[in-house]
Amino acid sequence: GEDVEQSLFLSVREGDSSVINCTYTDSSSTYLYWYKQEPGAGLQLLTYIFSNMDMKQDQRLTVLLNKKDKHLSLRIADTQTGDSAIYFCAGEGYQKVTFGIGTKLQVIP
């Protein structure tokens, strides 16, 4: 099955860019996702990328996909305190979506 790994913690200053990285194992993953979990809440889809794309941009968010290295990243430009949350990478393998353990992003004012 799919294995998704990501670092546990990232700290950035407000206004800087944040880059959250993720690696996955299933090269047949059709879609890769980024979810955001705010304190006390469930996960919410931020963005996703289809496996035949290298990059997807959505306002302050940029997703980069390197299929060869099975590496996915999420860049948040001009990080705000409201971006403080846990970010989950997820890969869609056969019949199910597998989530990483989540990266806690701390934004320092």
Partner 1 sequence: DAGVIQSPRHEVTEMGQEVTLRCKPISGHNSLFWYRQTMMRGLELLIYFNNNVPIDDSGMPEDRFSAKMPNASFSTLKIQPSEPRDSAVYFCASSSEGGGTSEQETQYFGPGTRLLVL
Tell me which residues touch partner 1 (CB under 8 A).
Answer: 30-31, 33, 40-45, 48, 50, 88, 92, 94-102
Report d(CA 51, CA 65) in Å as an integer.
8
Between 83 and 92, whose beta carbon lies closer to partner 1? 92
CA torsion, ordered 92, 93, 99, 105, to nearest 10 deg: -50
Give the nearest distance from C-beta 15 to partner 1 in angstroms: 29
Between 14 and 98, whose beta carbon lies closer to partner 1? 98
Between 1 and 109, whose beta carbon lies closer to partner 1? 1
What's the chain's Rg over C-alpha atoms?
Answer: 13
